[in-house]
Structure 1
Amino acid sequence: MSQSVQNPILRIESIVTSMWSKLRRFRTFGIVFGIVGIFLIVISLIFMLEVSLWMSPAVKTSALAISLILAALVGWILTRRFPEVLYPETLTDFTSKHDLEPLRNLLDLIHVQDDQKTSLLDAAIDQNLGRLREDDIRQKATLFTKNHPINDLFQQTGLIFFSGIVLLGIMTIFQQDAVHRTLAFNKAFEPDNPFQYTISPGDLVLEQGLSTSIKITFEDESPETSILEIRTDSEDEFRQIRMESDNIGSFTAQLPSLFDDHRYRIRMDSYKSQEYKIDVQLLPRFTTLKIRAELPEHTNLEDVIYEYPFTRIEAFPGSILHLEGQTNQELESLILHEKQDSENRELVLNKGQNQFQQEYIVTENDSLWFSMIDVNGLQNRNTFSFNIVAIDDEFPDVRLIQPESDLAILEPTQLDIIYQLNDDFGFSAVKLNYEVERSYGANRSQTGSLKLPTPAERTSTEDFNWDITEYGLFPMDKIKFWVEASDNDAPGGFKTSRTATITVNISSMTDHLLAQEEKEDDLMGQMQEFTEAYEQNQRDLENL
């Protein structure tokens, strides 16, 4: 076969081969565009849903998995519907549709093996070649490619791919938050909460076995319902506790006793707060706390034992409080705080670092509390605080029974004095104080005191015969006296009380006679009144 004949044949064969290669590329790109385009459209739709739905991690993961499965399914369907483009089938289809039987014969003849070529074969090649026009074949190949189903596949999936790119671009530009939330498929996101609120106590450390309350306070608008959601670290789902409204804009829920770490959040209608952690730990605390109050000796009272819980200890000044306690674990430090003196005493612990003993002397009202830190650095929350109330020792009560009031005597002889003593704990001293006032002379005023017996009992009635002749009293002189008693409160300071002052007037004979006459006149007046009353009664009886 000559060179002039071979070149047209190669060009014709190149047209057919190019057509076949183009269909193969269209098929490959069509399937890829279909898979990627469907995936992009579905993922964009998921982004759109996330804008308003705020999907959970499980839903987002499922949606992404469905988009991948759907894309894979589209790829499988397209692969089955548009099988691999083979050259022989493509050539047959092309020549049959466009009445190009000479082309089919020509391409078959040129591929005959060289050892089988004859002059007759060359003549057949020339004959078929003469019946073909290169431009006509090129036009028909273009038309064949344009009308082929694979070209439709390429155009349609290309449009789908372009639409997916546009949708994805729009979502990426205008809905970046939704795209970010969707791609972070293993994380949960919440919509912006319109409520302004404060949750207390927030994150907290709670002693094992204790309970607490959770409170939320809204600043402006309040939701219709507030629900506390709580779970342990081993639980997958939150348990719900309805919160009760205690006043306008405030809701509270009481938790039961907790023994494990918990997490909680508060649901406000369709919105949720952030999660808070309750760290349940075995905090240091006293397992036993005892106080023995050793009362002052003068009270003659037995010791008083207090065992926690207590909030108030009453003791007299001078009392000694013997404190002792044992903690639930080994301590690093234990400090006793005193409010009155602003003093902090670091207490000495035993070898096991969990016991202590301490003395405290009561002088005034005070408040005590403890702070303790264990070997792990944890600090107690229960301070075991209590108040010390210093009880005042009452003043003694001293009363004169006889004489009851001031009196006048003609001759200064002996005075019979009876007095009564009463105190809450007893007496340290009793005395009679006096003051002499003379009507004439150089030393007209004289004072002094007499020691009286101190009773052993808290309540006593005593009498004392006081000989006043030794004071050399004359008419118109006076002697004033009173009884004074001091209690036995040595630690707090002795307290003293006294009776009223009694004045004894030394009368002259004239004063005495005038007084007697005045008494007789009073007696006669009383007798006259009695007689008149008797006579009136008699007249009343006669009238009846």
Structure 2
Amino acid sequence: MGTESKYYREILNKLERFVRKEYVHIIFSGIQLMLIAVVASFTFFTFVELIANLNSTLRTILFFLLQLLSVSALAYLVLLPLLRYFKLFRKETYFDAANRAGKYFPSLKDNLLNAMQLVTEKPGGHFYSINLVDEAFKNVYNRAKEIKFETAVKFDKARKILPYFISVMIFSLLLLLLVPGMLSASNRLINFNKEFIPPPEFIFEVTPGNAEITRGDDILITASVIGKPPKEVFFALKNEDEADYKHQKIIADSTGKYNLYLSSVRSSFKYFASSEEIKSELFEVTVINRPLVNNLELSIIPPPYSGIPKTIQKDNGNVTSLIGSRVEINLSSTKNLTKAFLEFNDSSIVELSVNEQNAHGLFIVRKNNSYKIMLIDESENSNSSPITYNIKALYDAYPVIELLSPNKNLPLANDNRLTLLAKVADDYGFSKLNLNYRLSASRYEPPQSEFSSIEIPLEDLKKEIDVNYIWNLTALNLAVDDVVTYYLEIYDNDFISGPKSTKTNSFTVRVPSLDEILADADEVYSQTELELEETLKEAEELKNTLEEIDQELKKDEQELTWE
């Protein structure tokens, strides 16, 4: 058979695939180990730079040590296995691979290695015949041809390294992001040939920094220290008309902050915080004259129908008035204005007319609301913290009506007249009173679905009225058993939201028949007769009583005479 046999070449190909997969495993493991070594070294050198703040020479040494370590790890752990993958610098033989493969597959054990060694020996170099050797190798080949040697490579080592690789990456990243100064130290390490000024032991964080305030306002300046607390802290201030800074020592409060409170500031100034040759940024507080409302006058004009007179308020922007009232506003400012407007709580805006320091305008009371007066001067400065004024809207109540008589269903009198007595009242007056009626039942025509109206005249300028109205139904040409339904409806004089109305209960009046009229007449006659009889009887009884009294008096006179 010999080494040129196709069986032998096939075994070598299977072993080559096995060896290459082993090198792939080695390369993956090497990449992880190389990155662990490089990242861990970089993090360690960065930490050294953070603590020691090295000069450029020492940082150069650390940087090139890191470079040497990186190149060495790359060459030994990645590049060398990669070259051996392509059969360069490969020291092991297929016999070594066969030996390792036999250990993974018990069915082969050492048989594959032994058979390969027999085949590769020179003729005459062993005591077995060539045919016997070929038969033995063929037997081993038959056992190995279905086996894929590369399946023995499980990448176990790469899997075991992976958790360490992830842990080192996360730990290094957290150190760089969370430890103060690590990112700066890494930047200095990368830029090894540059000199860096050592960071200060602490820095100031100052509020409010640059600011604008209104003349006469108070201001609180606060300095917080980030880093090692200094022994003492000063605030340096210089007004715009001063040449030198004035230094003021500040004591830290319980929270470790340094506060400087300035009241009634009248002029702009510059300032900074300092301690132990360390200074904050230079800040400036600019004092400006914001426009202010100097005088305020409101003219409140209720709706004409209410009869309420106009009222004037000075320096009071709160409004309590009837819905529909017109509010005229006039104000003067401490500065010339370019714009002025009313900003309402419901986001609506009312622009005011501006003339130098004066502004005027108007709005209508429609609901409960609130507003602010906004002013903008020629320097585009606006008034700060404007007062919020409240608007309370008063609602016009519904009118009241009471039908006093008749307050029940009645038959129509012979004269076709019905007397209506009612009382109406409203808080601001009335616009009209209607008598609404319709034919609701009849034997001679269909009932009416719609009401007709008669307007009853009212006395003007009164809020409470007694109504006495005689309703003549003759024009309706009613027949016997016709029924008319009616009610009164009063309207107030609210012409802003629309007149509101109130109705009485509905009642009916019915035309009686002739028999009912005659029966009523008989009943009236009988009742009158009974009343006359009762009257005569009472008169007779009264007569008898008087006679008895007269007899008693005469008797008493006789007794007095005898004595």
TM interval, short-chain normalised: 0.3 to 0.5
Give the alignment's TM-score, normalised by structure 1: 0.46
